[in-house]
Amino acid sequence: MKTRILHEVGLRDGLQMEKQVVPLEVKIRWSEKLIESGVDILQLGSFVHPEKVPQMADTDALFRHFNQAGRKPANVVLSGLVLNEKGLDRGLACGVDMFCMGVSASETHSKKNTGMTVSEATDRIVGAAKAALASGKRVQVSVQSAFGCGFEGAVPVERVLSILEKYFEAGLNAVSLADTAGHALPEQVETLFSKVFKLNPQAECACHLHNTYGLGLANCRAAMNAGVQIFESAIAGLGGCPFTKVAGGNVCTEDLVHYWQRGGVRTDLDLPKLIEAARDMAQHFDRDMPGMVHKSGPVSYAVTL
């Protein structure tokens, strides 16, 4: 495995907050730019009810487009988010490579997001994840609101670990911890991921961090210190969960890649292509995007660390 794996979630988590629905042909154009940049995993969308999240209504069509002969990216895994068995069936039908699904560690957030308690959602997601594995698909399960909740405040570490234990007992070792509310502190991130690796040394850990309070990249550094290899980020810093109290954007992809490359990490990723995509998004939405490097331009030299 590479020392750092980039999972681009901008087309899903980045767009789900946008009121202006992006046409399918524009999503295809952005997806092509992201594929050309060399991202490892590209999340094309989520399989949710189109009336609840209109921005995701064409997710099936987007997957079908990139699963056509000659359009399937050779070195990019196409991921999709599902909330239940119906979403799983849709994803299987249109060619998802990797299914992402999860449970919130916050009872309030869980009920707002899924209409289920944490316990109910955990049982349902474990069942769906095992079905996806049985279908020969890659699966990543997550714990949302793992570092705090906008409605409830602090989330007990024991509750996060108890959800993870159920995942591991079911043979689900690819896990992601999500800072849905953006409350995480670097020390908290490093400590919690260290506990996860102690619980299961074979865990394949990902982090999904938000920059709501400006600590996104610092929290990425903390995750790196703990041994996390997979990082979920959104182009231009778009995004946020529509069902949390204060929605803030994701860690910005081009900012994260710029940070890595200044330290000599993942120089194979095409940063200019990522910047081009971010600027295209800013022009489309006709507003300033949260990311920084697409506005300032990158620093061209690496630093010996």
For 116-144, the three-class secondary structure string (H helix, E strand, C coil) is CCHHHHHHHHHHHHHHHHHCCCEEEEEEE
Question: How far is 230 from 40, CA to CA, in rounded Å?
Answer: 10
For residue 241, the model assigns a pLDDT of 53
Q: Please give the model's pTM, rounded to 2 decimal places.
A: 0.95
Terminal CA-CA length for the chain: 22
Question: How far is 304 from 28, CA to CA, in rounded Å?
Answer: 38
Active site residue 205: no
For residue 240, the model assigns a pLDDT of 58
Question: How far is 98 from 43, CA to CA, in rounded Å?
Answer: 9
Domains of the chain, CATH where assigned = 5-296 (3.20.20.70)
For residue 2, the model assigns a pLDDT of 65
CA atoms within 13 A on the CB side of 63: 25
For residue 108, the model assigns a pLDDT of 77
For residue 245, the model assigns a pLDDT of 47
Question: How far is 116 from 156, CA to CA, in rounded Å?
Answer: 19
Question: How far is 278 from 237, CA to CA, in rounded Å?
Answer: 9
List per-residue pLDDT tens for the chain, 305 residues long.
568 999 999 999 999 888 899 999 999 999 999 999 999 999 999 999 998 899 999 999 999 999 998 898 999 999 999 999 999 999 999 999 999 999 999 887 778 777 788 888 899 999 999 999 999 999 999 999 999 998 889 999 999 999 999 999 999 999 999 999 999 999 999 999 999 999 999 999 999 999 999 999 999 999 999 999 999 999 999 975 554 444 568 999 999 999 999 999 999 999 999 999 999 999 999 999 999 999 999 998 999 76
Locate the DSSP E strands across the chain: 5-8, 41-47, 77-82, 98-104, 138-144, 174-178, 204-208, 230-233
Q: Which of 100, 149, 207, 241 is catalytic?
A: 241
Tokens of 1: 């495995």
Q: Does residue 155 sit in helix, strand or coil?
A: coil
Question: How far is 211 from 202, CA to CA, in rounded Å?
Answer: 28
- CB-based contact 261:267 (threshold 8 Å): yes
- CB-based contact 152:111 (threshold 8 Å): no
* Chain mean position to CA 29: 20
Question: How far is 127 from 95, CA to CA, in rounded Å?
Answer: 20
**Closest to 141 measured CA to CA, from 180, 170, 115, 179:** 170
For residue 248, the model assigns a pLDDT of 61
